Amino acid sequence: MYNSKIRRIVKDYNVRVNFNKSEFNWMLMKYNMSLYFLKKKYKNKIFFKYMKKFHVNSSMCRINSVCLISGRAHWVLRRFRISRMTFHQLADFGFINGVRRSSW
């Protein structure tokens, strides 16, 4: 069995893969729905035709930032994709290039 941290990391990865696969279809559907000259009846047909193609986790709203090392979902730095606590530990030991502790 996976522990909760690994499950969270794998779930985040799968959501990102599903989003990347269907991003073009999302954009196409939004464009078709925004055409002002289409009647509502046709927009509904287009909407339900495209909605069948999408995976549940293919929405942008489902993507969460998760630390790649600890699996923590709170206070994740986007540039490094790690949490602040992991960042602090790695920076202290010098594993992140170009990062130093500030002192004044």
5-34 per-position pLDDT tens digit: 788 888 888 888 888 888 888 888 778 778
**CB count, 10 Å around CB of 86?**
20
The Cα angle at residue 64 between residues 63 and 69, in degrees rounded to 5: 125
Q: Under CATH, what is the fold of the domain 65-104?
A: 30s Ribosomal Protein S14; Chain N (4.10.830)
pLDDT of residue 87: 92
Residues in the chain, overall count: 104
79-89 per-position pLDDT tens digit: 888 999 999 99
- Nearest Cα to 70, choosing from 53, 55, 84? 84
32-62 per-position pLDDT tens digit: 778 778 888 887 887 777 777 777 777 777 7
End-to-end CA distance of the chain: 48
Spans of all domains in the chain: 1-63, 65-104
